[in-house]
Amino acid sequence: MREEEEPSWFARWEEQLPSPDELMPLSQTLITPDLALAFDIPTTHQHPNPSPNPLPPVPHQSDFESPDLTGGGGGATANGGDEPARTLKRPRLVWTPQLHKRFVDAVAHLGIKNAVPKTIMQLMSVDGLTRENVASHLQKYRLYLKRMQGLSSSGGGPASGVSHSAEDQLFASAPVPHHFLTRGPATAADPFMSYAPAVAALQHHQMAAAAVAAHQHQYYHQQQQQQQQQRHLGHFGSPPANGFADHGFLTRAVGQPGLHRMVGPGGVGIVQPPAPAPAPPSTAGSYVEDLESGTGGGNRRVLTLFPTNED
């Protein structure tokens, strides 16, 4: 027994791909504008060829706005050569259907009562997502639910004007758990996400999804306490100004059902999947990087992530 088909694995890569659904780790990589501008994140370069990709050393922040003076004097924080990147404005988060899906799923699993921003955020496991992001969205989502409730039995008089505008589209994308409307705990009835136990852990402490991901085993799971909000932004402005336009995308799905999330510790530690094997040919997962809608022509840096994929 030897020699199986080594070369084959590559060819069958796509076919062997597990359910994309499971592999959809929403790996939205959010990099702070500073970081992104300074240098691109060493995301897994899926270069078919063995090209050594020496990750660019720490960048020299391109000045731009001063890091603010959060306490300039004092002399505390004497970090030498560290990229604080704290106090930066991040671009508006765009809630894509996928992201929202994740959100709804999380809420569904948690149950209304436990569905609080922090918990949801943790369960979602989306890097870069902040509690406020979730809180804001949650607020809107609640309004949506409320409205739906009121509408539900009003004598079918949508005449009032049930405007089914495109806005609902986002919400329509995700199934609204019925118990939401009437109140009920989370019934483990979800198509995806099988980390129910994680929920319990969550409630207990902030293990967060990191543990969940790690649960999968394989590769390293760097457990990091994300007590504070981590910062990561998505790839966005990487204008090919000078240098290379480069990658700019993240590779999702790596062969094998393992969630890899890039967690950035307070500093800039992006963990790259060891990926002993080459990266996917990039045929399977696609992603769409929407950036900048610019409908009105402004300087709106909209950070959007996300893949194509449906549900």
Partner DNA sequence: TTCGGAATAT
Partner DNA sequence: CATATTCCGA
Residue 25 near residue 263 (C-beta atoms within 8 A): no
Structural contact between residues 233 and 179, judged by C-beta atoms closer than 8 angstroms? no
Taking the least distance from each CB to DNA, the nearer of 138 and 210 is 138
Min dist. Cβ of residue 30 to DNA (A): 10
Closer to DNA by Cβ: residue 93 or 214: 93
User: Using an 8 Å Cβ cutoff, are 271 and 262 in contact?
Assistant: yes
**Measured distance CA(67)–CA(205) in Å, rounded:** 33
The one among 45, 58, 67, 118 contacting DNA by CB under 7 A: 118
For the CB of residue 59, give the shortest distance to DNA in the complex, in Å: 24
Q: Applying CB under 7 A, does 140 fall inside the site for DNA?
A: yes
- The nearest distance, CB 159 to DNA, in angstroms, is 19
Which of 40, 43, 95, 110: binder of DNA (CB under 7 A)? 95
Contact range with DNA by CB under 7 A, out of 12-20, 126-134, 261-269, 281-289: 126-134
Looking at the Cβ atoms of 22 and 168, the one nearer to DNA is 168
Q: Counting contacts by CB under 7 A, is residue 117 touching DNA?
A: yes
Interface with DNA includes 167 (CB under 7 A)? yes
Binding DNA by CB under 7 A: which of 37, 135, 275, 284? 135
Residue 50 or 297: the one with the smaller Cβ distance to DNA is 297
- Alpha helix (H) ranges present in 153-207? 167-173, 178-182, 196-204
> Least distance to DNA from the beta carbon of 80, Å?
25
For the CB of residue 168, give the shortest distance to DNA in the complex, in Å. 8
Cβ neighbours of residue 58 under 8 Å, at least 6 residues apart?
39, 81, 83, 268
Other CB atoms closer than 10 Å to residue 127's CB: what's the count? Answer: 25
Handedness of CA 220, 230, 56, 93 (dihedral sign): positive
The three-point CA angle 206-29-192 to 5° equals: 60
Is position 30 an interface residue for DNA (rule: CB under 7 A)? no
Report the C-alpha gap between 152 and 148 in whole angstroms. Answer: 6
For the CB of residue 60, give the shortest distance to DNA in the complex, in Å: 26
Closer residue to DNA (CB): 89 or 183: 89
90/247 with CB nearer DNA: 90
Q: What kind and span of H or E run contains 302? A: strand 302-303
Joined tokens for residue 83: 């990229």
Q: Which of 58, 116, 162, 207 binds DNA (CB under 7 A)?
A: 116
Binding part of the chain for DNA, among 65-73, 114-122, 215-223, 242-250 by CB under 7 A, reads 114-122
Q: How far apart are alpha carbons 109 and 103 in whole angstroms?
A: 10
**Residue 58, SS3?**
coil
With CB under 7 A as the contact rule, the residue among 45, 86, 142, 215 that binds DNA is 142
User: In angstroms, what is the minimal distance from the CB of 227 to DNA?
Assistant: 7
Alpha-carbon span 101 to 196, nearest angstrom = 16
Q: Does the footprint of DNA cover residue 89 (CB under 7 A)?
A: yes
Q: What phi and psi values does residue 93 have, to the nearest 5 degrees?
A: -85, 135
Q: What angle do CA 65, 68, 71 make, to 5 degrees?
A: 165
**Residues making contact with DNA (CB under 7 A):** 89-90, 92-95, 116-119, 131-133, 135-140, 142, 167, 170
